[in-house]
Structure 1
Amino acid sequence: MRRNHTQAKFILLGIIESPCAQAPLFHSFLLIYIVTLVGNFGIVTVVQVSPSLHTPMYFFLTHLPDICYSTVISPRMLADLLSEDKTISFTGCMMQFLTFAFFGSADCHLLAMMAYDRHVAICHPLLYVTTISSRVCWQLVASSYLFAFLSAIVYTWCVFGGSFCGPNSIYHFFCDVPVLKLVCSDTHSSEMVIFAFVTTNVVGTSVVILLSYISIIRAVLRMCSAQSRARAFHTCTSHLMAVALFFGTAFFMYLQPPSSHRSLDKVASIIYTMVTPMLNPFNYSLKNKEVKGALIKCTRNKHHLYSFTTFVTDKDVFFLQDS
């Protein structure tokens, strides 16, 4: 018997069923989420206030939706770790899936844009300013989010457009592709459409990244100076680490039939929804001399401003006391 979707509810079984482990997990994931927020907001702030970082690479970096898709998952997951009631409404589940699919798809495309940016910078440095102009950057970001939105709509319709008439327990800690296992109607066509769009988003963007780095490696190996080669490789290491973490877990999670999802999927999901957004700011800041230099400069400017303010305040107090 088909349920009324507006009244249907799902039960998120969470990361682990053991009550003893939920409190330690809560504190661990809360710390990860706080570090994610502080780190990502910190990177965005440093890029905005540092003219030396007003380049296409950092423009794309500030538009990565790491905070967004982590925020879609983390607060609800943290609440479920402390609550006995783990139910979520049909509408709530659908909206969580829609927003997560949107930000996750956008992340794939923006990582590919960053790889293309590095390709042009290293392989065609004389054309870099004209090829990756400010207008082009905005167009690339806008097109990434537009295609991500269309993909998210298709994903959501394929997963939630069927009939839910059986079990309502989701063996996961958020509403993702495993929801499709609860659909009573035939899901073969939906699985094929999802697979096609995931292939376009994940495989297509990873091919762009792969081809970009093949060209980069060829260009770097043709450089005569060992110092130039080291500097060129160094500018790409941060992006490569982010790509490896994100795409590695995405391939494992989504390029398999929904019927074959298993417990290891939770580990993969934790990596790309919580660990990767937390590591990315440190990855780009600690391994990048430009960001470290901007951070030191901002810290020194803040210290000088504080010293000047203290000096002026002390003088005012001194004159007030004299008068």
Structure 2
Amino acid sequence: MQPPIPRVEPRLPGYLLVPLAGGWSAETFLATPAAGGDGADGAHAGEPLVVRYFAGARHAPDAAGIQAALLGRVRDALPVPAVRQVHNADDGSPGLLVMELLPGELGSLVLARLVEDRRRADRRHRRREADERLRSLGRSLGRVAGTLAATPLPRSGLFADAALRIEPFDLRLPDWVDTHAAGLVASGWSDGEVTGLREVAKRAVVDLEGAPACLVHSDLNPKNVLVDPETLQVTGVLDWEFAHAGHPATDLGNLLRFDREPAYVEGLLDGWFAGQGPDAGFGIAPNRATGSVGRRRATDLARAADLVALVELAARATENPVVHQARAHLRAVARTGDVHATP
């Protein structure tokens, strides 16, 4: 296979762009100074950069500005890249966000390696060590989700502009299932399976009602996080494209969606509660919130909140591994009536 062809971006003179691996959008690039040049002018001239395009029809004209504002909003609480340039869509040019390149390895690669180490561990002490590494990674990721859950916002909705004005939306899960039913049927679902999913959605709505709105990343999974492979600490939270104001358990649900190694899940819950501080509980008495009852309640809420994303993913016409996983998991939920079901 031939290497990727470097791109030249007129808004970033002196740099060459090559695609970055790890995502499905194909809109993220590594920008390095061109041979014989020092890169763009300014205090950060010559440094490697990350360039994110907002070229698809799904992006608002000021998507780059919205994401830049979000990064500024969370910068004191979470490790996110500093913004170098912002260009909103204009005159046929797509939106463009230029950011610093953060250290670390994709969390998805680190997690896969730790899971494989656990599988290969042939002695009890090695299994304990592997479990503790999984638990440590889970705590680091869960703390990110908990920190976001503890970032209050006045109402649920989508960010409408770079001032982070919230446009309210009223999303009811049973209606969401109906909206996506045709896509599910097109992918092979029976009418009975759609009906089963709608019943699950009706119960989930009751569970999710009444929670205060918070900042939600909405795509918080290991492939959108950078991790130090030695310390297992998060070094970067990336790709805020789907961020919105929503339910506090949404990001935990994303992290719990497919990766269910027991030690990792235990760590996620530890970190999620720790990230929110002593007031975490969601209707559970504070002194019981982190006990077995509270952890089960948190997991129930997370699975219920994650149904929104699972339904949208499973109904897509596109084919990729994440869509296939979402269909398999959601089908198991629909057939059993249990939000915790797996294929």
TM-score, normalising length: structure 2: 0.24
- Indicate the structure (1 or 2) with the bigger Cα radius of gyration: 1
Higher strand share: 2
TM-score, normalising length: structure 1: 0.25
